[in-house]
Amino acid sequence: MRKKFRKMLSLSLAAALAASLAACSNTAGTGGSGADASQQDAGKTNQADAAKTNTSEFVTISYVMLGDKPKNGQFEKVMEKVNALLKQKVNAQLEVKWVEWADWQTKYNLLLASGEPLDLINVATDWLDTWPNAQKGAFMPLDKLLPTYAPITWKEVPPEHWAETKYKNQIVLIPENSYTQWVNHGYMYRGDWAKEFGITSPIKDFESFGTYLQGVKDKKPGVIPLDLNGGNLASFDGYITTKTDAIGIPVSTGPMPIFYAKSYDQRYTAFSPIFEDTFLNYAKLMKEWGDKGYWREDVLNYKGDNRAAMEGGKSGSDQHHTQTFLGEKVKMEKLQPGSDLQFFPFSVTRGNLVSMPITHGGTSIGARSKHPERALMVYELLRNDQEIYRLFNYGIEGVQYVVKDGKRYRPDGYDVQKHDFYSNFWGGRVDKNEIPDGTLWDGAKDLYASYDKIKKPFPYGRFVFDKNPVNNELTAITQVVSKSLPAIAYGKAGDPAKAVETFRAQLKSAGHDKVLAEIQKQLDAYKQMVESSK
């Protein structure tokens, strides 16, 4: 099957390449809706479209990735091999354009708005403002291009998944829909220390987690209980999740969404928990934690690496998602033997876990790309050619990894400083080309099974909020959230009751009520669409 698949990929790309070599000009495709054409008909190679690009010209395709640019030289070594294969197969090379983590959201959105001719772009509808950027015209429609230049991807993504990638009935991104992962957030903490502090049951709420942090403060001199930086605001959503049945609505308000639905059963009823007692209680608890010294005094300006601090025994906890925990649990046993890392997922308190959208990761093409056809051909290889996929995701076999019994491990002599490699390819991973990570915790399957028992389907897959009627108000709200929420989240805003009152007043002045009414209006229309399609 594997040989047959790779032969299919080579033949599909060869067909597009052969047709394009016959062309005498280099004209970029513009895309189109293609919304009413059947997927079967659209999947046939369109020789006329293929002839629009001349692949006899060697081109460089850019790929916008999130993350700090690797500095140990391994990325360049891997890319030499990747680009040799890309040149051979589609006469192109790939150049990763990094958007580094410091002030990443602002940098990313400014880059997409700059007018620069970007090719491939890492996107996500739930954390990378895909729909707002689509409304600004940042992405190229792909309906007419996909069947020809990414035929395997086109056929393997089912129509119901393509439906979740459309803006104004046009496909504007390729979803990472065939990759198994859980990115529900929570706190990691040391099980050995928890037992030492008298905590014998798994932590399932903020109060118990606070008891753990106090234990670190009292009994582990020189250790910061929760050494986060002020840009991490996950405690806000985490607290809402543990105390209510509210679920987030995909409407961006900067560093943290503030608009929710009442519950999964009331998923079409919008509100903001900022104006509920729950938020006041959250502010009071964070003030209490801050006053007790659970994080550093300069937390709002701190830019350090908390995970590295935890791995070095200098922090008692870290905040991230399930996938990170699975790797950290094994890593911590090597770096801090006996640490028995545990995870407190926010959803465990009330069982209100919503599956992530298939567009949590994805890839778009910039609206001003000069080589969209070739960009799709490169993406097709990154996603479907097993050799290129594994190079781009894992690095060089024997240097970054070895395979034993069908699983990936680190080679003997592996030095993370010298040999570490990452590409942060979060926009096209597929299970079919994955090599299971042998370093992940063996209990992952049981954790996944516990999630599967309580998960609810993501309800907003085709909900694209049109912010145009309230664009000014959303901009103002984002500024308020960016300025005021971090101080409240780390107890640095003074009296919590006054801080919450001021925050609410600022949101009201910025246009909260108008935005909420518009969200409700569009949710009502979305509900009608969903129910009429049943």
pLDDT digits (tens, 9 = 90+) for 467-505: 999 999 999 999 999 999 999 999 999 999 999 999 999
In this predicted structure, what is the pLDDT of residue 49? 45
Reference 398, options 389, 406, 408; nearest CA is: 408
Reference 213, options 190, 231, 233, 230; nearest CA is: 190
- Predicted confidence band at 41 (pLDDT cuts at 50, 70, 90)? very low
Distance in angstroms (rounded) separating the CA atoms of residues 103 and 482: 12
Reference 62, options 103, 2, 118, 112; nearest CA is: 118
Are 264 and 247 contacting, i.e. CB atoms less than 8 angstroms apart? yes
**Amino acid occupying residue 206:** F
Are 233 and 214 contacting, i.e. CB atoms less than 8 angstroms apart? no
In this predicted structure, what is the pLDDT of residue 54? 61
Are 130 and 364 contacting, i.e. CB atoms less than 8 angstroms apart? yes
In this predicted structure, what is the pLDDT of residue 13? 52
What CA–CA distances, in Å, run from 517 to 287, 464, 476?
Answer: 32, 16, 16
Whether the pLDDT of residue 28 is over 60: the answer is: no
In percent, the amount of the chain with pLDDT more than 70 equals: 90
Beta partners for residue 364, in sequence order: 121
In this predicted structure, what is the pLDDT of residue 103? 85
Quote the tokens at residue 177.
């829909």
Distance in angstroms (rounded) separating the CA atoms of residues 96 and 219: 46
Note the pLDDT tens digit of each residue in 136-155.
999 999 999 999 999 999 99
Count of alpha carbons within 13 Å of 489, Cβ hemisphere only?
24
pTM value is 0.81
Distance in angstroms (rounded) separating the CA atoms of residues 228 and 305: 8
Reference 30, options 133, 140, 117, 136; nearest CA is: 140
Burial of 139 (0-12, 13-18, 19+ CB in 10 A): buried
Core vs surface per residue 426-461: b (16+ CB within 10 A) or e: bbbbbeebbbebbbbbeebeebbeebeeebeebbbb
CATH number of 2-180+358-409: 3.40.190.10
Q: What is the pLDDT averaged over residues 97-112?
A: 93
The answer to which of 12-21, 368-377, 484-493 has the lowest mean pLDDT is 12-21
In this predicted structure, what is the pLDDT of residue 85? 98
**Amino acid occupying residue 411:** P
Q: What is the pLDDT averaged over residues 210-230?
A: 96
Core vs surface per residue 237-266: b (16+ CB within 10 A) or e: bbbbbbbbbbbbbbbbbbbbbbbbbbeeee
- Predicted confidence band at 375 (pLDDT cuts at 50, 70, 90)? very high
Q: What is the pLDDT averaged over residues 155-161?
A: 96
Distance in angstroms (rounded) separating the CA atoms of residues 511 and 476: 8
- Predicted confidence band at 442 (pLDDT cuts at 50, 70, 90)? confident
Whether the pLDDT of residue 389 is over 70: the answer is: yes
The answer to which of 32-41, 324-333, 493-502, 517-526 has the lowest mean pLDDT is 32-41
330-333-334 Cα angle (round to 5)? 95
Q: What is the pLDDT averaged over residues 159-164?
A: 95
Q: What is the pLDDT averaged over residues 353-368?
A: 96
Beta partners for residue 186, in sequence order: 320, 345
Average pLDDT for the chain: 90
